[in-house]
Amino acid sequence: MHNGASRASEAGAVPGRRGAGELEAAVLEVLQRDRSARSPGEVRELIGGDLAYTTVVTILSRLHAKGVLDRRKSGRAYLYAPVADSPGLAARRMARVLDEESDREAVLARFVSSLSGRDEELLRRMLADPNLDGATLDGPDLDGATLDGGG
């Protein structure tokens, strides 16, 4: 069989369907853009297309399990909100990778040595800034305050 359908399945893709990573990115974009907690139904409407409600719930649940979204019960459903903005989520991923390594010093040294001159200078300025505490990097929690309790 050498028709288009078999080629699509051989490649692991189904025509017209988005991959899980692409759907997670779309859900996260909707929640970060609004910067407010949303129900699965609201997320589904904002994404558009023909996604099943259960698919949206699954994606939201996976993002919550990964620590990317916070949630609270609202009636029979949950409301979901990002725990941080996009740079904050990237910083969390970087910290998680660093936490998984036994030789933090070597990892950090290799990371810094791989930076461009511009990024290295930016990092040096940030490390020297006594006012930089990272508090402004996290997004609001479900009540509108920062996740560290301030705000």
Task: Dump pLDDT digits (tens) for 64-117.
Answer: 998 899 999 999 889 999 988 888 888 888 888 899 999 999 999 999 899 999
Environment class of residue 133 by beta-carbon count within 10 Å: exposed (0-12), middle (13-18) or buried (19+)? exposed
Contact status, residue 77 vs residue 40, Cβ threshold 8 Å: yes
104 within 8 A of 98, measured Cβ to Cβ: yes
Percent of the chain with pLDDT over 70: 74
User: What pTM value is reported for the model?
Assistant: 0.60
Mean per-residue pLDDT of the chain: 79
Maximum CA pair distance of the chain?
66
